[in-house]
Amino acid sequence: MTSATRQTQNAREKETDTQLTADAVEDIVLKKPTSDNPNGDTVVLFSGDHDMCPLITKARNHGWNVEIWAYTDSVPEAIKTEAKQASGQTKVMIMPLEEHFNEFAFYDNKDFTKDIPEDRALLLT
Protein backbone atom coordinates (compact mmCIF):
# COMPACT_ATOMS: atom_id res chain seq x y z
CA MET A 1 0.00 0.00 0.00
CA THR A 2 1.25 3.46 -0.88
CA SER A 3 0.99 6.18 1.73
CA ALA A 4 1.11 9.90 1.05
CA THR A 5 0.56 12.98 3.13
CA ARG A 6 -2.21 15.35 2.09
CA GLN A 7 0.36 18.07 1.41
CA THR A 8 2.15 15.84 -1.13
CA GLN A 9 -1.13 15.02 -2.85
CA ASN A 10 -2.11 18.70 -2.98
CA ALA A 11 1.24 19.58 -4.57
CA ARG A 12 0.78 16.90 -7.24
CA GLU A 13 -2.80 18.00 -7.87
CA LYS A 14 -1.69 21.63 -8.26
CA GLU A 15 1.08 20.56 -10.65
CA THR A 16 -1.44 18.57 -12.71
CA ASP A 17 -3.87 21.53 -12.81
CA THR A 18 -1.07 23.85 -13.92
CA GLN A 19 0.07 21.49 -16.70
CA LEU A 20 -3.50 20.91 -17.89
CA THR A 21 -4.14 24.66 -18.01
CA ALA A 22 -0.87 25.39 -19.85
CA ASP A 23 -1.52 22.68 -22.45
CA ALA A 24 -5.12 23.74 -22.97
CA VAL A 25 -4.27 27.43 -23.34
CA GLU A 26 -1.63 26.52 -25.92
CA ASP A 27 -4.22 24.51 -27.89
CA ILE A 28 -6.82 27.27 -27.57
CA VAL A 29 -4.47 29.92 -28.90
CA LEU A 30 -2.82 27.83 -31.65
CA LYS A 31 -5.85 25.88 -32.89
CA LYS A 32 -8.42 28.45 -33.83
CA PRO A 33 -12.05 27.28 -33.88
CA THR A 34 -13.14 26.07 -37.30
CA SER A 35 -16.10 27.47 -39.17
CA ASP A 36 -17.14 23.91 -40.16
CA ASN A 37 -19.09 23.42 -36.95
CA PRO A 38 -22.24 25.59 -36.85
CA ASN A 39 -22.39 25.32 -33.04
CA GLY A 40 -18.76 26.33 -32.59
CA ASP A 41 -15.85 24.25 -31.35
CA THR A 42 -15.78 23.14 -27.74
CA VAL A 43 -13.16 22.69 -25.04
CA VAL A 44 -14.26 19.89 -22.68
CA LEU A 45 -12.97 19.94 -19.10
CA PHE A 46 -13.48 17.13 -16.62
CA SER A 47 -12.79 19.42 -13.71
CA GLY A 48 -14.77 22.05 -11.89
CA ASP A 49 -11.69 23.25 -10.06
CA HIS A 50 -11.39 26.99 -9.43
CA ASP A 51 -7.95 26.84 -11.09
CA MET A 52 -9.77 26.38 -14.41
CA CYS A 53 -11.34 29.89 -14.34
CA PRO A 54 -8.54 31.58 -16.33
CA LEU A 55 -8.65 28.75 -18.88
CA ILE A 56 -12.41 29.15 -19.30
CA THR A 57 -12.05 32.90 -19.82
CA LYS A 58 -9.18 32.43 -22.29
CA ALA A 59 -11.20 29.85 -24.26
CA ARG A 60 -14.22 32.14 -24.51
CA ASN A 61 -12.05 35.11 -25.51
CA HIS A 62 -10.69 33.02 -28.39
CA GLY A 63 -14.13 31.91 -29.61
CA TRP A 64 -14.39 28.48 -27.99
CA ASN A 65 -17.39 27.02 -26.18
CA VAL A 66 -16.58 25.35 -22.87
CA GLU A 67 -18.17 22.22 -21.36
CA ILE A 68 -17.33 21.54 -17.72
CA TRP A 69 -18.08 18.02 -16.54
CA ALA A 70 -18.03 17.99 -12.73
CA TYR A 71 -20.14 17.26 -9.69
CA THR A 72 -22.42 20.24 -9.22
CA ASP A 73 -21.45 20.78 -5.58
CA SER A 74 -17.76 20.94 -6.52
CA VAL A 75 -18.14 23.73 -9.10
CA PRO A 76 -17.13 27.05 -7.52
CA GLU A 77 -19.37 30.12 -7.76
CA ALA A 78 -16.89 31.84 -10.10
CA ILE A 79 -17.43 29.14 -12.74
CA LYS A 80 -21.22 29.09 -12.21
CA THR A 81 -21.22 32.88 -12.66
CA GLU A 82 -19.13 32.56 -15.83
CA ALA A 83 -21.66 30.06 -17.19
CA LYS A 84 -24.59 32.37 -16.41
CA GLN A 85 -22.88 35.40 -17.93
CA ALA A 86 -21.73 33.66 -21.11
CA SER A 87 -23.25 35.48 -24.00
CA GLY A 88 -22.76 36.11 -27.68
CA GLN A 89 -21.16 33.42 -29.79
CA THR A 90 -19.56 31.36 -26.97
CA LYS A 91 -21.20 29.27 -24.27
CA VAL A 92 -20.08 27.83 -20.94
CA MET A 93 -22.06 24.73 -20.02
CA ILE A 94 -21.85 22.85 -16.74
CA MET A 95 -22.59 19.18 -17.27
CA PRO A 96 -23.46 17.58 -13.90
CA LEU A 97 -21.65 14.27 -13.44
CA GLU A 98 -24.15 13.05 -10.86
CA GLU A 99 -26.77 12.83 -13.63
CA HIS A 100 -24.51 10.47 -15.60
CA PHE A 101 -22.82 8.57 -12.78
CA ASN A 102 -24.34 5.19 -13.64
CA GLU A 103 -23.12 5.49 -17.23
CA PHE A 104 -19.42 5.62 -16.32
CA ALA A 105 -19.14 4.00 -12.88
CA PHE A 106 -20.34 0.91 -11.13
CA TYR A 107 -19.89 -0.75 -7.77
CA ASP A 108 -20.36 -4.47 -7.54
CA ASN A 109 -18.44 -5.59 -4.47
CA LYS A 110 -19.45 -4.98 -0.85
CA ASP A 111 -15.88 -5.50 0.39
CA PHE A 112 -14.05 -3.49 -2.28
CA THR A 113 -10.64 -3.63 -0.57
CA LYS A 114 -10.18 -7.31 -1.47
CA ASP A 115 -10.05 -6.57 -5.20
CA ILE A 116 -7.71 -3.57 -5.15
CA PRO A 117 -4.12 -4.59 -5.94
CA GLU A 118 -1.81 -3.45 -3.15
CA ASP A 119 0.41 -1.48 -5.53
CA ARG A 120 -2.62 0.60 -6.60
CA ALA A 121 -3.98 1.38 -3.15
CA LEU A 122 -3.42 4.83 -1.76
CA LEU A 123 -3.87 5.88 1.83
CA LEU A 124 -4.20 9.61 2.48
CA THR A 125 -3.29 10.81 5.94
pLDDT score of 117: 56
Please, what are the averages of pLDDT over each run of 10 residues along the chain (125 residues)?
A: 49 78 84 68 85 87 89 89 76 88 66 55 50
How many residues would you count in the chain?
125
pLDDT score of 114: 53
pLDDT score of 58: 87
CB 75 within 8 A of CB 99: no
State which amino acid sits at residue 68: I
Q: Which domains does the chain have, with CATH numbers?
A: 2-124 (3.40.50)
pLDDT score of 19: 84
In this prediction the pTM is 0.66
Which of these, 35, 82, 36, 37, lies nearest to 59 by C-alpha position?
A: 82
pLDDT score of 8: 57
pLDDT score of 25: 83
Which of these, 107, 75, 108, lies nearest to 92 by C-alpha position?
A: 75
Cα three-residue angle 78-81-84, rounded to 5 degrees: 155
pLDDT score of 84: 83
